Chains A and B, each alone.
Chain A
């Protein structure tokens, strides 16, 4: 078991390194750097000036060396001007050359500077992740119980009318991506022209204080899309358990249907949905980006879009590190959790 977890963690670290390197390479391509030089320096820079700017700021090192510096395993670059002024990756106005650390990268907690939001990347990401965390918490709190109940009710009696209608509902919700359900929900519940005007069509005010009025629509929009899939997986797992021999035995012994479902079937039927719910989190990340853009809620997804569309290299790198880590950690938890929850695998 321990060996299994250690191997999984090893693969995870390797994957994280590969992915961050790909993102690093793609965001640090020649045209991106040129654009960065022009936004940081002067829009009308000549090609020569751009080249000197890039050289002065350490962007001319080979890609792998720069990746190592960003990661914090290689010492940061330093260079001395003709007049003896020392500049370097880890040297800034607040940190003079004599006390500057040798390495400063992601591993040392130095995530860089966001050129668009004009703030430390680590503080931007911390703040935005907090906002998204609140959103995700409410999504999970709504989505998971609803999906499990739907799946169990549908899978309890396969082929019944309840099963048919619940299955159709879950197919319909999986067929409705967030940007479609968001538009429909806003039109119905928030539009000032035709709608019911129950809720607000933006969640900007939810960043200061969450109310039922401003947070319902974003939460429901994300939860709807993820719900159908989890419900279908729960249903599949439930129908499989309900045809098992031990359920038949219990029924023949005269255990009531109510007790069979709650005491015998449920525990075994919930192993598969656990994996599905964990694997659903990376998908929710997609939904979060869309919903935060649609409802103008300035969380992590919104930041990612801003960073990507404004060529904010270090912020984008920070966002992708977080996103990749979230995906990989949920994968790890789902794998380990599956083994842990399933006695047939755990004991062998």
Chain B
């Protein structure tokens, strides 16, 4: 068979992404039609930059969701004779899947296109959740540090600066090497870090429904039962029902990314909270006799949401870069995993001769992070307007 021409390759890639196009068109149509009723999210479509950023992000979200429909081959299967083949090379007769390697083969004769698409799933599984966890930790510690001040603030700020002064790569090497994993340190860190979301939610409900004991009991019970069930499964891999488990590799990567991000979030939350603390409505809440946690979580936090949402978008992008860095140094994730960082790492050894295996994931990673940054920029502009 003849190799495909570049035009045919592009066309075929566009065809492969059809589920994503359909989902994006539906999503954009609905959002655009109701954009005036959707608040900040709806205003996003008013600016060009925010719209483009949102489109890029949504593209990768849907790609991650529909990855199984988009891939042309199994991302882990090696097809003999396809090593380092150029884009559009036909696969040998009788191979499962599509008749060509759309973006060529890598140094282990796997399909670059399929690996890039399934890489998005890994990024989308880890990056947003890890960022969310980092935010929970940062908020739970940052609000009291700013609100109470004093020794607590000094101690927590010192701790945060300590972690921030650590070169990120050194930290990754120290946390992710097999010797450290053997001592169980990442598991203990996961055990501590993953307690924070439960703590956050418990304090959140408790302070809100303090005067309605029945409602409070229900909310707390649901949070605690669900929270500890997930906590046991994720952090200790000891889910009594055996439903939830996280591969140890992913857990370590997850923990180190949360650990690196949390101090920065802490500093941001603390800074904003210090500013908002002096406002009149906080004083009003204190005069009413509201408790400190209610004031923090239901007066200060909602008013800090603008900058926090913007930072959340930026931070997902930064987390994606960190995940890529981990993969680039071959740390954490399984060596054959199709995540973008590891794929770039695999491809870089033969970069000057066969650039395509490294180029595809590199461009994918760049477009996702760029999308997140543009989205954050659009959100910032819109939230500054009012």
Q: Which of A172, A179, A195, A323 contacts B170 (CB 8 A)?
A: A323
Q: Which of A29, A193, A304, A319 contacts B353 (CB 8 A)?
A: A193
- In the bound complex, residues from chain B placing their C-beta under 8 Å from that of A327 are 165-167
Bound-complex Cα distance A282 to B171 (A): 13
Q: Mark B319-348, 1 if CB is under 8 A from A, else 0.
A: 001001100110000000000010010011
Q: Tell me whether A175 and B348 are in contact in the complex, defined as CB-CB below 8 angstroms, given that A180-B324, A180-B365, A285-B167 are known contacts.
A: no
| B352 A304 Cβ-Cβ under 8 A | no
Bound-complex Cα distance A15 to B166 (A): 10
Bound-complex Cα distance A236 to B178 (A): 44
In this complex, the member of B169, B170, B325, B365 whose beta carbon has the largest number of chain A beta carbons within 10 angstroms is B170
| B166 A187 Cβ-Cβ under 8 A | no
Q: Mark B167-209, 1 if CB is under 8 A from A, else 0.
A: 1111001100111101101000000000000000000000000
Chain B interface residue number, banded: 35 or more
Number of A residues whose C-beta is below 8 Å from B?
54
Instruction: Give the distance to chain B from A115, nearest Cβ to Cβ, in Å.
Output: 15
| B324 A19 Cβ-Cβ under 8 A | no
Bound-complex Cα distance A186 to B365 (A): 17
Q: Does A194 contact B (CB under 8 A)?
A: yes
Binds A, one of B124-132, B222-230, B277-285, B370-378: B370-378
Bound-complex Cα distance A64 to B377 (A): 48
Instruction: Count CB-based A-B contacts (< 8 Å).
Output: 139
- In the bound complex, residues from chain A placing their C-beta under 8 Å from that of B168 are 286
Bound-complex Cα distance A19 to B185 (A): 17
| B351 A183 Cβ-Cβ under 8 A | yes
| A176 B369 Cβ-Cβ under 8 A | yes
Q: Which of A35, A186, A305, A319 contacts B329 (CB 8 A)?
A: A305
Bound-complex Cα distance A282 to B161 (A): 13
Q: Mark B130-173, 1 if CB is under 8 A from A, else 0.
A: 00000000000000000000000000001001100111111001
| B351 A186 Cβ-Cβ under 8 A | yes
B340 to chain A: closest residue by CB: A180
| A183 B162 Cβ-Cβ under 8 A | no
- In the bound complex, residues from chain B placing their C-beta under 8 Å from that of A324 are 165-167
Q: Tell me whether A191 and B180 are in contact in the complex, defined as CB-CB below 8 angstroms, given that A19-B166, A177-B325, A293-B329 are known contacts.
A: no
Q: Tell me whether A320 and B352 are in contact in the complex, defined as CB-CB below 8 angstroms, given that A179-B328, A180-B365, A183-B362 are known contacts.
A: no
A301 to chain B: closest residue by CB: B169
| A191 B170 Cβ-Cβ under 8 A | no
Within 8 A of B (CB), among A180-200: 180, 183-184, 186-187, 190-195
The binding surface of chain B is classed by DSSP as: helix
Q: Tell me whether A190 and B352 are in contact in the complex, defined as CB-CB below 8 angstroms, given that A175-B373, A282-B167 are known contacts.
A: yes
| B348 A183 Cβ-Cβ under 8 A | yes
Q: Does B366 contact A (CB under 8 A)?
A: yes
| A290 B328 Cβ-Cβ under 8 A | yes
| A177 B169 Cβ-Cβ under 8 A | no
Q: Tell me whether A180 and B174 are in contact in the complex, defined as CB-CB below 8 angstroms, given that A187-B355, A187-B359 are known contacts.
A: no
Q: Does B358 contact A (CB under 8 A)?
A: yes
Instruction: Give the distance to chain A from B53, nearest Cβ to Cβ, in Å.
Output: 9
Within 8 A of B (CB), among A139-184: 167-168, 171-172, 174-177, 179-180, 183-184
- In the bound complex, residues from chain A placing their C-beta under 8 Å from that of B370 are 171-172, 175-176
| B49 A191 Cβ-Cβ under 8 A | no
| A184 B359 Cβ-Cβ under 8 A | yes
17 new A-B contacts at CB < 8 Å, known A171-B377, A305-B329: A31-B180, A177-B325, A179-B325, A179-B348, A180-B344, A180-B363, A183-B351, A183-B358, A192-B352, A193-B355, A285-B169, A289-B169, A290-B325, A305-B169, A305-B173, A308-B174, A308-B177
Q: Which residues of A contact B (CB under 8 A)?
A: 11, 15, 18-19, 22-23, 26-27, 29-32, 35, 167-168, 171-172, 174-177, 179-180, 183-184, 186-187, 190-195, 201, 282, 285-286, 289-290, 293-294, 301, 304-305, 308-309, 311, 319-320, 323-324, 327-328, 331
Q: What are 30 pairs between A and B in contact, CB < 8 Å? A: A11-B158, A15-B158, A15-B162, A19-B162, A19-B165, A26-B174, A26-B180, A29-B183, A31-B180, A31-B183, A35-B179, A171-B373, A175-B317, A179-B341, A179-B348, A183-B347, A183-B351, A186-B355, A187-B351, A187-B355, A187-B358, A282-B165, A286-B168, A293-B329, A305-B169, A305-B329, A311-B179, A323-B170, A324-B165, A328-B165
